[in-house]
Amino acid sequence: MRLLEFEQLNEKFTPQIEGYYDVDDIMIWFQTNYSNNTADAWVDMVSSLATAMDEVQELGMVDRYKRGDIDIVNDFLSGLMFQVVDLQYYKNKAHFKTIPTRPADTE
């Protein structure tokens, strides 16, 4: 029963807080803080990652492509207050572990 409760938990993405956030959490943050165009670019970029391909997930090859995809994501996020250090998929949805990059946010 606790697992069901956990699945219903919605956590709002906050760049200053280290944690795992799904692609939609970060998209909403881009919509709120930047624009719909930036949010759309985020979703397009994530959906074009090698690890997002059904074949890669079905064949269990996510770990093989993960590092390269994290580099692509961090290029997209360059200059922002956070970066991605891990990428996992749960129910075919990308979940990113983010950490803050600004010194004041890490103290």
51-75 residue pLDDT tens: 999 999 999 999 999 999 999 999 9
Domain definitions of the chain by residue range? 18-106
**What is the C-alpha separation between 36 and 39, in angstroms, rounded?**
5
**pTM of the full structure:** 0.83
- Residue pair 90/1 in contact by the 8 Å Cβ criterion: no
Q: 52: how many CB neighbours lie within 10 A of its CB?
A: 20
Q: 93: how many CB neighbours lie within 10 A of its CB?
A: 12
- Write down the pLDDT at residue 4: 47
- Write down the pLDDT at residue 92: 87
